[in-house]
Structure 1
Amino acid sequence: MKKMIEIFKNPIFLKLFFANFTSHMGSVIGLTAFMFYLLDRFSEQPVYASITEMMYSLPTLLVFFLVGVFADRLDRQKIAYHCDTISSILTLLLFGAIFIGWLPLIFTVLFLRSGVQKFFFPAEQGILQGVLSKDDYSTAAGLNQMVMSLFMLLGNAVAIFVYWTAGIYGALAVDFVTFVISAILIRKCVIPEEVRLPNGKHSWKDLNIQSVAKDFTAGMKYILNHKLLLSLIGGFVVFGIVNGGFSVIPIFILKYKLAPDSYEEYSILLGVAFGAGVLIGSIFSSMLTQKFKFHVLIVAGLVISGTFIIAASFAPTTWLFLMIIFIAALGLPLVNIAIGGWMPSIIDPKMMGRVQGWINPLMMLSQSITLGVIAMTFPSVITVEMLYWLVGGCLLIVAVFYTIILPKYVKEEEPHSAVLNS
């Protein structure tokens, strides 16, 4: 707790933290409200809800090779600032598109806004790496994890309340205001030039196809030549499988096994149980990072979550299932906070954007493949219990892999890190 209080004394971190919070809050409220709007207006055409989800995910596959290069070659503060300002303008356009009622324009604006937002996180992470000390990385990761768990716990409820009371236009107004607040907070940050421009000054003229391809390839080579980093990112590919499976299997087991007649009501309780587990786990994980090595916490979190996800497949009642999911959620922050606190300390600040630019598409690719396999094989080939065994088993396999690999690479990395941070 003391470390959390101290880190908020850093004015740049304080502004960036609340900028990230407000920006994410607006996105959650806007997306959830828009999904309900489509389901209300086009209740007999649920395909529109699926298209909306695609408009938020597809841009990743189109801009992933740019986001990291931009974060390393251009002013990181300006990137984060313009992500919010352009998103606020596109929110106003979305307001008008919904008023007109032309779906192609609505989906186009959603696609563009999502694409713009993909540039925010690598730039913000690069700034945080530069303005925090090595000892503060895990604390910052813990705070971000707690915020994300609060959104899991309360985000949809707040979004639904705003939609019910103010309608889709009211929700978009909240969305617009949060982007503006986030932009103002980022604009007011006084960030050293070496943090904003870790590779020196570059202009848009420098970012031609050849230079972008060269920088993107340099990011890949940096990862491949960095054994510890490569091992961690290798685990992210499996985490994509876990994310893909876990995005659907809780609802599947409620609908097809435990509560077929009341699965919608129980899905709300499921969100509360999972969010509460992540929130409580985040609090304890933040304290444990000060006492244990990162790789120990990662393995412990993977074993806890993997074991109890497999156990959830054998739950005979819905309430026991919710209890097991709560326990499984306790282990996830150990993994997220440890990795979030570890990676900034082992990545060269000049390469942070390009490394971050590789992680998201790798996870999304494995996640998309997993969802495609599930769509083709469930329930004709595999059962819902098998899906839980797959997800939990993947976590346990990564735990074994990390147990064997990480201690060795940690010893090799320590001299290098000492030189890098001296």
Structure 2
Amino acid sequence: MKDLWQVLTRQRDYRLVLSAGLVSLTGDWILRTGLAFHVYVLTGSTLASGGLLLASFLPPVLLGSLAGVFVDRWDRRRTMIVTNLLHAIVLLPLLLVHDESAIWLIYLVILGQSCLQQFFRPAEQSLVPSLVESRQLLTANALNSQTSDIARLIGAAVGGMLAATGGIALLALVDAATYVVAMALLLGVRHRPERLKVERAGGVRPAVLKMKAEWVEGIRICLSGPAMRLVFVFGVVTGVGEGVMSTLFAPFVSAELGGDGTAYGLITSSQAVGGIIGGLVAAALGSRFRAAMMWGVGAVAFGLIDLAIFLYPLFWDGLWPAFAGMILVGLPGAFLVAGAMTVIQRLTDDASRGRVFGALFAAEGLAVLVGISAAGVLGDVVGIIPVLVVQGLGFFVGGIVILSRLRILAPERDVVELAA
């Protein structure tokens, strides 16, 4: 608890970044929830609703890796400020959407926001290690993971309310306001990390070739050495599982559990409750455990609880085990995210961290798309439960592998700090 208290009270710049992330993520959930409702109301088409997912998933695959090159070249604080400003501007076309004929504007806005996010996420994850002491990094990452769950709980509820009362225009204005607030918080960050000077290449062609070389270097780092290869493979395997989960969990609740839309929404959101608790626990224990250990244990427990959720309908009728399981899975989920993020940050140096995160996010985005496509086909052919079981096994086996390779995943300074 001491490190948790110190990070929140003494690390002013980190506190501002954390608050900015919470505000903007809440706005994202408000918009995401409200638009999902309105697109279906305007079109009456599930295919049109699926287009929102496609518009948000394509940029990580197509742009994520390249965006990391720019993140390593630019000041990361300034990158986050500018992307927040652009986010607010990009939302303005939603004010012109009044009927189905303007639905393309919604897709364009979601596409633009997702493109901007490919610059913001690597910049944020690369900036955090410079805002806290090294021994506090795991605690900081645990708090970061918790903000997404808090934002999900608040934003989803507010988004549903605004969608029912104010329409798309109100959703856009509220989300834009959250980005402006987040930008103001980031402007208060005083820390200016020393950035490596980027050698300017004369002419367009040499500049393009240099950027290509830096982009390839980021991918090479992700695939070089047993530690980074393990990180990369884990992200791809679990990314496929997340795609499967996002596609088949609603049919699972309906067909296997007998739940309705309300039950699905409540079961899904209940994971955020566990995530908030888990984030606090992980933050409090951050200085006592190796990051790789927390990652591995979190992945194993996450997989086991998911397997229990998916398999219990074969032996037991009722919805309450699903509610309990989704709350419980939030705890190891927080451990998994905080531990994995800390390991990646410690395995990379500041000069290349943006490219590494960009490449990892791109690979995970592609894996999610593969999982979504595969689940859509295999769910009908093999069955919902067998395909979902593969998702749980991916996390469980991945966690076992992580725990078996702790020595290669923990840099020397991680072990020294824990022993101190």
TM-score w.r.t. length of structure 1 = 0.90
Q: 1:203 Cα deviation (Å)?
A: 9.3
Matched, 1:414 2:412: yes
Query: Is contact 2:21-2:147 (8 Å) kept?
Result: no
Change (3 A) 1:176 1:304: same
Equivalent in the alignment of 1:393: 393
Q: CA deviation at 1:389?
A: 1.8
Q: How does 1:330-369 map to 2 (within 5 A)?
A: 330-369=331-370
CA separation of 1:163 and 1:97: change in aligned 2, threshold 3 A? closer
Counterpart secondary structure, 1:391: helix
Provide the residue aligned with 1:158 in structure 2: 158
- Are residues 286 and 389 of structure 1, via their aligned partners in 2, closer, same or farther at CA, if it must alter by over 3 Å? same
For 1:120 and 1:414, how far apart are their aligned partners in 2?
A: 30
Match for residue 120 of structure 2? 120
Counterpart of 2:296 in structure 1 is 299
1:265 matched to which residue of 2? Answer: 262
Instruction: Please give the alpha-carbon distance, in whole angstroms, between the structure 1 residues aligned to 2:26 and 2:187.
Output: 19
Decide whether aligned partners of structure 1 residues 215 and 178 sit closer, same or farther in structure 2, where only a CA change above 3 A counts: same
Deviations 1:342-396 (A, max 9, x none): 32222111111011011111111111111111111222x2122212321111112
Q: Which residue of structure 2 lines up, in the alignment, with residue 253 of structure 1?
A: 252
Q: Are 2:36 and 1:35 aligned?
A: yes
| Match in the other structure for 1:243 | 242
Q: 1:311 aligns with which of 291, 308, 313?
A: 308
* Conserved? CA contact 1:282–1:334, under 8 Å: yes
The alpha-carbon deviation at position 113 of structure 1 amounts to 2.5
The letter for the 2-side match of 1:346 is L
TM superposition score normalised by structure 2 = 0.90
Q: Closer, same or farther in 2 for the Cα pair 1:324/1:186, shift >3 Å? A: closer
| Counterpart in the other structure of 1:216 | 215
- Which amino acid in structure 1 is aligned with residue 335 of structure 2? L
- Matched position secondary structure for 2:184: helix
Matching residue's letter, 2:386: M
Residues 145-191 of structure 1: per-residue CA shift (max 9 Å, x gap): 21112233333112111222332211111111111111222223223
Deviation at 1:199, TM superposition (A): 4.3
Q: Is the contact between residue 34 and residue 171 of structure 2 (CA under 8 Å) also seen in structure 1?
A: yes
Give aligned-pair identity as a percent.
20
User: Deviation of residue 256 (structure 1)?
Assistant: 0.9
Aligned residue number for residue 373 of structure 1: 374
Amino acid in the other structure paired with 2:353: M
SS at match of 1:119: helix
**Count of aligned residue pairs for this structure pair:** 411
Query: Does the 8 Å CA contact 1:314/1:385 hold for their aligned counterparts?
Result: no
Pick closer, same or farther for the CA change 1:321–1:14 going to 2, 3 Å. Answer: closer
Structure 1 residues 229 and 389: CA distance shift in structure 2, 3 A: same
Displacement after TM superposition at 1:240 (Å): 0.1
Structure 2 equivalent of residue 324 of structure 1: 325
Tell me the CA shift for residue 320 of structure 1.
2.0
- Looking at structure 2, the residues matched to 156 and 106 of structure 1 have their Cα atoms a distance apart, in angstroms, of 18
Report the Cα distance in structure 1 between the residues aligned to 2:113 and 2:368, rounded to whole angstroms: 22
Shift in alpha-carbon separation, 1:247–1:134, aligned structure 2, 3 A: same
The one-letter code matched in structure 2 to 1:246 is M
Q: Residues 94 and 110 of structure 1 are in contact (CA less than 8 Å); yes or no, is this contact kept in structure 2?
A: no
CA contact (8 A) 2:306 2:325 kept: yes
Deviates more, 1:152-161 or 1:233-242: 152-161
User: 2:306 is aligned with what amino acid?
Assistant: I
Contact 1:140–1:341 (CA under 8 A) maintained in structure 2 = no
Q: Map Cα deviations across residues 113-172 of structure 1 (whole Å, 9 max, x no partner).
A: 321222111112222222222112111111112111223333311211122233221111
Could you tell me which amino acid in structure 2 is paired with residue 224 of structure 1?
L
Q: Which runs of 5+ in 1 are unaligned?
A: none
Aligned to 2:92: 92
Q: Distance in 1 between matches of 2:201 and 2:171?
A: 37
Pair 337,243 (structure 1): closer, same or farther in 2 beyond 3 Å: same
The gaps in structure 2 that reach 5 residues or longer are none
| 8 Å CA contact retained: 1:74, 1:201 | no
Asked whether the equivalents of residues 74 and 203 of structure 1 are also in contact (C-alpha less than 8 Å), the reply is no
User: 1:287 offset after TM fit, Å?
Assistant: 2.4
What is the Cα deviation at residue 97 of structure 1?
4.7
* CA distance in structure 2 between the partners assigned to 1:105 and 1:79 by the alignment: 25
| 3-state SS of paired residue (2:312) | coil
Name the residue aligned to 2:279.
282
1:19/1:185 contact within 8 Å kept: yes
What is the CA distance between 1:89 and its match in structure 2?
1.1
Q: Is 2:103 the counterpart of 1:106? A: no
Q: 1:198, 1:338 → 2: CA distance?
A: 27
Offset at residue 193 of structure 1 (A): 4.6
Change (3 A) 1:6 1:98: farther
Which amino acid in structure 1 is aligned with residue 357 of structure 2? Q
Contact 1:244 1:368 in 2 (8 A): yes
Q: Structure 2 vs 1, CA of residues 296 and 77 (structure 1 numbering), >3 Å: closer, same or farther?
A: closer
Q: Summarize the alignment of residues 54-203 of structure 1 with structure 2, pairs less than 5 Å apart.
A: 54-98=54-98, 101-194=101-194, 197-200=195-198
1:287-327 CA distances to partner (integer Å, 9 max, x unpaired)? 23322222222222122121222122223222123223332
1:47 is the counterpart of 2:47: yes
Q: CA RMSD in A?
A: 2.5
Which amino acid is 1:338 matched to? G
In the alignment, the residues of structure 2 paired with residue 192 and residue 321 of structure 1 have an alpha-carbon distance, to the nearest angstrom, of: 46
Supply the AA of the counterpart residue of 1:244.
G
